[in-house]
């Protein structure tokens, strides 16, 4: 079965809602499992729970079939997302354009010309869909 992972902020921002909207569409279209991921940073320790994340998502999109809600704690959002994508063996990752920009900055420290889509495809063997929310 196809697995889609979508990292989001909590509370849901305009960009997170747009990213989620695309991830839900892709999951429905492909009859896939959907993992909604929020990274709660150790340094800010907001104590976000899976229940809060699920309620917020369902308030926007209604109950989702085959959806899983995950809150991970980490020091770096990008690294924690990559770990979850690998652990889930995700086929598709749906990220917002802001997240993609942060990943590019992180990868520049290690690579000359980072392309997050190519990096994830090569390292994790998954498709990356980048969503731009209208400002």
Enter the pTM of the model. Answer: 0.86
Nearest alpha carbon to residue 95 among 65, 61, 127: 127
> Of residues 107 and 23, which shows the higher confidence score?
23
Question: Which pLDDT tens digit goes with each residue over 50-62?
Answer: 999 999 999 999 9
Give the pLDDT band of residue 78 (cuts 50, 70, 90): confident
Q: What is the DSSP letter of 11?
A: S
Q: How confident is the model over 21-59, as pLDDT tens digits?
A: 999 999 999 999 999 999 998 888 789 999 999 999 999
CB 10 within 8 A of CB 37: no
Task: Give the percent of the chain with pLDDT over 90.
Answer: 57
125: burial class by Cβ within 10 Å (0-12, 13-18, 19+)? exposed
1-129 architecture in CATH? 3-Layer(aba) Sandwich (3.40)
Rounded to the nearest 10 degrees, the angle between the axes of helix 14-30 and helix 50-61 is 80
Per-domain residue ranges of the chain? 1-129
């Amino acid at each position: 079965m196809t697995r889609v992972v979508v990292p989001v902020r909590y509370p849901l921002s305009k960009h997170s809602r747009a990213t989620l909207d695309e991830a839900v569409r892709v999951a429905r279209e492909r009859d896939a499992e959907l993992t909604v991921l929020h990274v709660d940073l150790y340094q800010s320790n907001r104590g976000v729970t899976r229940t809060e994340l699920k309620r917020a998502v369902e308030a926007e999109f209604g109950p989702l079939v085959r959806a899983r809600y995950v809150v991970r704690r980490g020091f770096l959002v990008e690294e924690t997302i990559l770990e979850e994508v690998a652990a889930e063996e995700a086929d598709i990752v749906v990220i917002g354009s802001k997240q993609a920009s942060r990943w590019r900055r992180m990868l520049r420290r290690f690579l000359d010309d980072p392309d997050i889509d190519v990096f994830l495809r090569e390292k994790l063997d998954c498709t990356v869909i980048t969503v731009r929310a209208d400002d």
